[in-house]
Every structure is written in C-alpha cells, then in structure tokens.
Amino acid sequence: MFQGTFTALVTPFQARSPSGFDRRTLEKQIAFQAGHGVQGIVPVGTTGECPTLSHEEHHEVVEVAVGAARGTGLKVIAGTGSNSTDEALALTHHARKAGADGALMVNPYYNKPTQEGLYRHFKTVAQAVDIPIVLYNIPGRTNVTMTVATMCRLTKDCPNIVAIKDAAGNLDLTSEAVAAGLHILSGDDSLTLPMIAVGARGVISVASNIVPDQVRGLVDAALAGDISTARSLHLRLFALCKALFIETSPIPIKTAMALLGRDSGELRLPLCEASSESRRIIRGALVQAGLSPISS
C-alpha cells in the first residue's frame, strides 16, 4: 500500500509568531509535493516538530494536510506516535476520523519499554483503530530498538500494521527484516539506495521537502532495477542528505527551506537556529544539488 517516495513534511510557523502554525504555507508546500509526483506526505512526524505541537495544533495540521492532498493523488500518513499509549490511541483515532490514509507510530521514547511493552503498545492502538499503520524504528531518537522478532509478531497479530519506517541506520537489521517478509521504508535519506538494494520499498524522506523530483527519481529507478541511474542520483544528493542532518533535524531542513524562500525557518524551542558554519555547509550542499539559494 505504501511504496515509493513519501515526504516527511516540516510544520511551517509564522515568521513573526513562532507560536502560530502557518496553514497557508503548508498548503503551498503540499501543492509543491503533488506537482513533483511523490506518492505521499507525512505530516506531524519528527520533521514536523510534533513534540512541541499542542493537541489542537496536531489535529489542525493533519486536517489541513488531508484537505490539501485531497484530489491530488497524494496519500497522507499522519504521525500519531507517543510515549503514552493513551495519547497515541487518541491521535490515531483523530487521524482516521480526519481521513488520513495511514498512521506513522514511533517507538515510545524516554520511558524505554521492553520488547513486550512495545508489542502491547502498538497492538493496543492497531486493534482499536481501523487504519493502516507504519511502525517507526528510530533508536537514535527513542533510545529503544524494536527487534525484527517484535515487528513480525505485530504484523502477524495486527493485519493493519503494514510497514516499518526503518531509521536504525543498520543494513543488517534491514536485511533481517526484509528476509522475514516485512515491508520496509527507508527512514534515512543517505541510505535509501542501499536499503532498496536489500529489499526496502521506498523512503519517508526529509530531503524531498526541497528536491522531491530527484528523490522520487532515485527511488523509482532503484525499484525498477536501474541501478546506474539510482546511483548517479544517490551520489548527486549524498552531500545534501548529510548536510540535512548536520544538526538535529528539522533544524537543517528548515534552514535549507528558508534559504530557498520556501519557509520562514522558524523553529520552536528547545530547537533553535543553525550555527553560521552549518548554514554555510547547507548552502553549499544546496548549490551542489543544483538549487539556487536566494537568501543569505
């Protein structure tokens, strides 16, 4: 159901009011994605600064994304994860009610559940809400890694758990998951090509906020077995992909979008603006990727 290129959207804020969600800019960004042929969008994930959105704002972003995507062919996978099972359940119920095509659920963070705790957490939500669910394994953010055995147990017992976003940065884990029959999406732009080479079916991408056509071209070529084209695009985008994680995401991608005149660049504390050296590196990576920064 979820194959190809999905863009992990930033949440734009009004330049003069960091506490205000900028609906109009998000709608423009979604139209930009639709115009460049990606398969879907992922609002209110890590890139969307979900930890600092209120529940009301979270709901509004999902509703705006669903409305803006309607009629474009874009699938919407709404971020609904939490370290509280009750909160994750409520957010997932809302995503389904709003019309999202799926829910992205990150491993609970900070409280470090066991594998049994992870299983019960995701099973509770999956059995309560009839919506396709993508599990999100990102130990660098959550300090817990879901094992392939737990993933398999969940997909066996919960048919609506349909894919895994793999941002563990471990090709052995990816290979083990694919060998077990799991549907894997890359969660690391710089590893998308090698992950597809071992059997992943696409990417949930940060870079496609600014280069959706190039990311889509890489994924489409790789899935079609055109490794030469995919490798060429991978190498062209590699410096940009690394620059977009030079500081904590989404600081670099919002910096890049501001440099391109596509976002205010506003972040919510405890995230703050990129350093001058990081801005220099991001600007250089944009130019190398064939883009033209318009602001200083």
| Catalytic residue annotation | 136, 165
Residue type, 253: I
C-alpha separations of 265 from 23, 47, 240, 251, 253 in Å? 15, 13, 17, 8, 9
What whole-number distance in Å separates Cα of residue 257 and Cα of residue 10? 10
Residue pair 130/96 in contact (Cβ under 8 Å)? The answer is yes
Residue type, 66: V
What whole-number distance in Å separates Cα of residue 157 and Cα of residue 127? 9
Residue pair 223/171 in contact (Cβ under 8 Å)? The answer is no
Among the listed residues 128, 91, 116, the one whose alpha carbon sits nearest the alpha carbon of residue 106: 91
Among the listed residues 185, 181, 75, 94, the one whose alpha carbon sits nearest the alpha carbon of residue 138: 185
